[in-house]
Amino acid sequence: YPSGNLAIIVTRERDQLICIVQEDEQRTVRIRALFQSDGRSTCYYPNGDEWINMSIQGGQYLDQAGNRVRRWTWPNLSAGPQVPLGPIFISLNRHVGVRILAQDKIFISFLAMGRQAKFNMGTKVQASSASQLPPPARLGEDELLLLAFRVRILQLFDRMRGCLNFPSSEQWNKMQPPTYLMTQAVKILELCMAADISDELRSSIRAIVNA
């Protein structure tokens, strides 16, 4: 961002790419969206509530009250009735926008100081591949909370190291946490979406990892 805060991270996790969009903040690392090359993606409202969720089958668009206002399926990947996708464009903030045109045309655009960068995180998953994918792992409430607190503790330790390295300045408070911690936070949020837990607990876990 023009402020110097990290806006977009693209990292490789084994055989897939992960794109993470962060909010323009110094003291926190709030995730606004994550996109994975295996077809799973999620965008969040500023308060952390789910905005758009996509999988290899299709996606849904939620309003800020949590009501589903749009739903679609990707062509040839769903056994049920086909629900076509109408183009979607949202602005995560004044610099980052997301445009969804098709399964293989999901664009993240970044505009600042007269210059633009664009990433295509869409993917084309074949029906045969989709049928072979294993179901997502489902964890209980206690396991999810333990994972969230573990990441939070590691985040605090990282801040403590920054404070020790820069004891007489504010630089340590502007440092981004290591990429592996952000990746772990993203995975926990994904597990929360797949788990059968209450919205209140899901919001609490989001607050813990994004604190």
On whether both 163 and 193 belong to a single domain, the answer is yes
DSSP conformation class of 196: -
pLDDT for 129 equals 46
Q: Of 90, 120, 150, which residue constitutes the final position of a domain?
A: 120
On whether both 77 and 109 belong to a single domain, the answer is yes
Instruction: Kindly report whether the global pTM for this prediction surpasses the value 0.85.
Output: no
On whether both 149 and 99 belong to a single domain, the answer is no
Residue 129 lies in a domain: no
On whether both 107 and 161 belong to a single domain, the answer is no
Domain that holds residue 154: 141-210
On whether both 22 and 89 belong to a single domain, the answer is yes
On whether both 116 and 15 belong to a single domain, the answer is yes
In whole angstroms, what is the distance from residue 175 CA to residue 91 CA? 26
Conformational region of residue 178, where left means phi above 0, alpha means psi within -120 to 50, and beta covers everything else: beta
In whole angstroms, what is the distance from residue 72 CA to residue 84 CA? 6
SS3 73: strand
Conformational region of residue 14, where left means phi above 0, alpha means psi within -120 to 50, and beta covers everything else: left
On whether both 152 and 182 belong to a single domain, the answer is yes
On whether both 24 and 69 belong to a single domain, the answer is yes
From residue 10, alpha-carbon distances to 5, 7, 17, 59, 109 in Å are: 15, 10, 7, 22, 13
On whether both 37 and 112 belong to a single domain, the answer is yes
Annotate 84-138 with DSSP letters as a single string. Answer: PPPPEEEESSSSEEEEEEETTEEEEEEEETTEEEEEE------HHHHHHSPPPP-
Domain count along the chain: 2
pLDDT tens digits in sequence order for the chain, 211 residues long: 999 888 998 888 777 888 889 999 877 778 899 998 888 899 999 888 889 999 888 889 988 888 888 888 887 654 555 667 889 999 999 999 999 999 999 999 999 988 999 989 888 765 444 444 444 445 677 778 888 888 888 877 777 776 766 666 566 556 666 677 777 788 788 787 777 788 888 888 888 887 6
On whether both 108 and 36 belong to a single domain, the answer is yes
In whole angstroms, what is the distance from residue 137 CA to residue 116 CA? 37
DSSP conformation class of 82: -
On whether both 85 and 145 belong to a single domain, the answer is no
